[in-house]
């Protein structure tokens, strides 16, 4: 009887496991099938490097270069802001903060991670956007910079918690060795702990960026949604994700526009996948 129970449970778990793989495969196949259909009529080069995105004009222009650049710009901006702050925060939590402060900070970071992105987007819209507009004397505060700042908040929890783990897992003996040679706390952090944790910290950065590049809601609300190649970070942009979210509802099923949005999905998928694989490589290198 017990054996039978074990058997059933084992099979159930197996089914759950295979189901998740099956669904992933299904999504992937669907995405590929719809997305690749675009390339019956549009060349890959024209799609990836085309400079204009006018999906509903006649004939439609389906170049996603402005969208790719928009995504990259917002993401790069977010990385520039969140990486130093996030890693600094992780160092502070792991090495410097006294017990109580550490708990409060970690709680705060978890809370930040729990804020739904639409709420962050909304807060950004009513606070950040007017600031950016006034500080830089712009016609509109809906810019790539606003998006970057907002996304930095979203990347931060991931970066802080993973970088902090990486710092914690540095063997204590390294620290003792550095102190025993007369190093100050800061010298120990800078010259020993950070290099020792570098692969984990890189993984943290990659995963933080991965989170940012797939983010949709907040960027749609505050980056201005203009599909033009941006020349500065103070220009409005439109990202890959925002494009899909905004246009999927109105695209006619089976139209070129519709297929193009799926193809955008594939591009996003490839970028995210590459980032995650890189992060994974760093994490594994650390374990070895």
CB 212 within 8 A of CB 163: no
Report, in Å, the least distance between residue 173 CB and other proteins. Answer: 4
| Smaller CB separation from other proteins, 18 or 184 | 184
Q: What sign has the CA pseudo-torsion 284, 268, 128, 229?
A: positive
- Tokens 């930040």 belong to 112
Rounded Cα–Cα distance for residues 71 and 68 (Å) = 5
Report, in Å, the least distance between residue 241 CB and other proteins. Answer: 38
Which residues of this protein are in contact with other proteins, per CB under 8 A? 171, 173-174, 176-184, 187, 191-192, 195-196
| Smaller CB separation from other proteins, 139 or 171 | 171
Report, in Å, the least distance between residue 208 CB and other proteins. Answer: 23
| Smaller CB separation from other proteins, 84 or 177 | 177
| Smaller CB separation from other proteins, 180 or 252 | 180
| Smaller CB separation from other proteins, 96 or 181 | 181
Rounded Cα–Cα distance for residues 15 and 9 (Å) = 10
Report, in Å, the least distance between residue 196 CB and other proteins. Answer: 5
| Smaller CB separation from other proteins, 197 or 244 | 197
Report, in Å, the least distance between residue 282 CB and other proteins. Answer: 15
Report, in Å, the least distance between residue 176 CB and other proteins. Answer: 7
């Amino acid at each position: 009887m017990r054996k039978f129970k074990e058997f059933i449970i084992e099979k159930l778990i197996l089914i759950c496991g295979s189901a998740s793989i099956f669904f992933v495969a299904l999504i992937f196949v669907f995405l590929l099938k719809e997305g690749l259909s675009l390339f019956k009529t549009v060349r890959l080069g024209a799609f990836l490097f085309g400079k204009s995105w006018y999906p509903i004009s006649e004939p439609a222009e389906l170049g996603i270069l402005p969208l790719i650049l928009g995504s990259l710009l917002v993401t790069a901006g977010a990385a520039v802001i969140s990486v130093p702050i996030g890693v600094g925060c992780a160092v502070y939590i792991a090495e410097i903060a006294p017990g109580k402060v550490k708990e409060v900070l970690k709680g705060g970071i978890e809370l930040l991670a729990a804020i739904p992105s639409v709420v962050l987007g909304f807060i950004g819209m009513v606070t950040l956007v007017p600031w950016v507009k006034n500080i830089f004397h712009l016609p509109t505060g809906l810019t790539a910079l606003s998006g970057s700042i907002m996304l930095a908040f979203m990347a931060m929890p991931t970066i802080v918690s993973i970088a902090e783990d990486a710092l914690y897992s540095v063997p204590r003996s390294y620290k003792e060795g550095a102190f025993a040679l007369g190093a100050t706390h800061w010298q120990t952090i800078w010259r020993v702990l950070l290099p020792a944790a570098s692969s984990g910290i890189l993984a943290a950065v990659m995963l933080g960026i991965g989170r940012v590049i797939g983010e949709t809601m907040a960027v749609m609300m505050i980056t201005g949604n203009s599909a033009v190649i941006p020349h500065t970070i103070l220009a409005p942009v439109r990202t890959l994700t925002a494009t899909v979210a905004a246009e999927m509802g109105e695209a006619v099923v089976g139209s070129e526009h519709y297929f193009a949005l799926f193809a955008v999905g594939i591009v996003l998928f490839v970028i995210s996948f590459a980032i995650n694989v890189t992060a994974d490589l760093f994490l594994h290198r650390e374990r070895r």
